[in-house]
Chain A
Amino acid sequence: MNTSLRLKSSLLSLLLLAALVMVWHVATMPRQALPLSATTLTPEQIEYQKMLGKDPAAAGASSAKSAGFPTPAQMGQTILRHFSDPIYDNGPNDKGILIQLAHSLARVGLGFALACLVAVPLGFVIGMSPMLYRALDPFIQVLKPISPLAWMPLALYTIKDSSVSGIFVIFICSVWPMLINTAFGVASVRRDWLNVAATLELSAPRKAFEVILPAAAPTILTGMRISMGIAWLVIVAAEMLVGGTGIGYFVWNEWNNLSLTNVIFAILVIGVVGMLLDLFFARLQKWVTYVE
């Protein structure tokens, strides 16, 4: 029953994918009637086109390139090309896809780790103290909805290093969901468990690490998962702004090169990596979740 359901859904997914590629293929098929064909033009017009650097006689040969949107076949070639040589470094504008990804992941990882270091302990304290919760709430509420990219100029001005600014932006966007979820998780630990901790005369560290932390862990992990999702969204935009390295910069660079195949390839890679990151946190979440 369950396996047949899984089989059916997988089959449907594959069918949908096939249909999608089919539509794509049909939509990007090279058109026969080219607007600039040597046969339809007067000699003057041909001369004029040649002066503009476009050779109508050669147009037929290069039609695949001028068609604009890449075909699925071209996409496939590009993907193969990228994966056959993922790690190379031919200067600032030409790096292997894995190198770009590694740069992005390192920024996200670093910013996210810093956010964890700040948000989880702070969230713990806020969650334990209703007074602090209320005192800090207005700040959190105002700072939370700010687009992380809005911090960019300020970060660039104060930090004066584009790469570190990117990390800062990741930090600032990851910190809020984690902070709020940790505080909420800690504040809503069941009274009973705290009472048990009290009657067993637990020391404060034992109470924090052996009662409150495991009790709040699922909520904290949810916050982390949300944070990671946002961080991965933001890194692309941040790297487009900051430039230099990373998958976001790659997208922007390929746009400047007008290489849509590479842009589409990068989009796919961003999606897959984002999914893997989310899966990883989902796994962690499952690991700490308990059934009451």
Chain B
Amino acid sequence: MSEILLQIDGKEVRAREGMTILEAAQGAGISIPTLCHHEKLEPYGACRICTVEVEVRGGTRLVVSCIYPVEKNLIVRTRSEKVDRIRKMILELLLAHAPDSFVLHDLAEEYGADKNRFEKEASFCIHCGLCVRYCAEVKKKNAVGFVDRGTRREINFIPEIASKECNICKECFPLCPTSYLQATFVLTEALAFPSSSSEIL
């Protein structure tokens, strides 16, 4: 693997070919916020909070750093007026659903996001997909998945699989930036396989 030299926030950064901007930045101690990223999982590119500005062929472009591969002499800016504006809006949009998420609170402070900007629709899930992807990619169980699409999209446990697999695993619980995942699991358990929960009790 050849080494690639690029510039992030004015700093010369060395990276290996095939790395993403996010990986290169993390390696150089430059922090870029993420919500749907997890090092054990395939890049997903859904939360868009890791959006950064790159200079390509003389023009400026916004890309997501968790996916965009490093290039020779690439110039990256992890903060700019526009980038900050986008991150602030993304946080405000998500805070309408998960107003009490600590992860979102910390970022909201950093970017000056107003958690009351949009009318609350406390569905709690921010659709980062960490649980779904962890279960599919790492555990290879597919006990939790997305249901429906668009604004109706939500996560759900598949009772037939969850009843067998989840009580001994629950590795996805700490990944959830809100408490929605646990709540969904308890609800699914109560509705679909209550006997197993009473056994534990």
- A-B interaction: no
Interface residues, chain B, CB within 8 Å of chain A? none
Interface residues, chain A, CB within 8 Å of chain B? none
